[in-house]
Amino acid sequence: MLSGEVIAFAIVAFLLIFSALGVVFMRNIVHSVLFLAATFVLMAVTYLLLDAGFLAGVQLIVYAGAVAIMIVFAVMLTKRSDLHETNLFNKLTIPGAIVSLLVFLGLSWVFVKTPWNLAERPLNDPQAINKIADLMFGQFVIPFEVAAILLLVALIGAIILALEVKPQK
């Protein structure tokens, strides 16, 4: 029997894996980045299926909004005359595929074999965003401030790194 949940999960999982494969296997970097934006949006849909609405919004704003645009800008700033064949494989394709396959087998073996301490009912808390706010500005306020300092430092560091370096006279 196919419920709506199963159908939705199957469609989203198929599209997610397809677009992630597109990121890696496209030979043109612009197509790769387009597939990356699709991956981010589909990941937000997956968060919605998991009843994490706030995380889905953050995913859309931070990844699909900011990170994808930043990567498009980096592609524009580093492009050469034509964009064909800009996203090729290196000489390690077959060893890389073997290592990735081994990692996948190890991960899925652990995931399937672990005796998960499953809850009786999956968590579906409509007050989740209130709880996140309480925790983030209460118990976890110091990690929150540290994340703010980290973002400030990363901002300054990115500006310094990307600044035009004047030749020394």
Residues 57-116, interacting with another protein (CB under 8 A): 58-59, 62-63, 66-67, 70-71, 73-75, 77-78, 86-90, 92-93, 95-97, 99-101, 103-104, 107-108, 111-112, 116
Query: What is the size of the binding site for another protein (CB under 8 A)?
Result: 89
The least CB distance from residue 147 to another protein, in Å, is 4
Binding mask of the shown chain, residues 1 to 30, with x at each position contacting another protein by CB under 8 A: --x-xx--x---x--xx--xx-xx----x-
Binding mask of the shown chain, residues 110 to 149, with x at each position contacting another protein by CB under 8 A: -xx---xxxxxxxxxx--x--xx--xx---x--x---x--
Q: Cα–Cα distance between 109 and 117 in angstroms, integer?
A: 17
Q: Cα–Cα distance between 104 and 24 in angstroms, integer?
A: 16
Does 38 interact with another protein (rule: CB under 8 A)? no
The least CB distance from residue 168 to another protein, in Å, is 15
For another protein, the closer of residues 2 and 169 by Cβ is: 2
The Cα diameter of the chain in Å comes to: 76
Q: Cα–Cα distance between 146 and 102 in angstroms, integer?
A: 36
Residue whose C-alpha is closest to residue 43's, from 29, 57, 30, 31: 57
Determine contact, residues 42/14, Cβ cutoff 8 Å.
no
For another protein, the closer of residues 146 and 169 by Cβ is: 146
The least CB distance from residue 59 to another protein, in Å, is 7
25-41 burial, b if ≥16 CB within 10 A, otherwise e? ebeebebbbbbbbbbbb
The least CB distance from residue 66 to another protein, in Å, is 7
User: How many alpha carbons lie under 13 Å from residue 69 in its C-beta half-sphere?
Assistant: 6
The least CB distance from residue 119 to another protein, in Å, is 3
Q: Cα–Cα distance between 29 and 77 in angstroms, integer?
A: 13
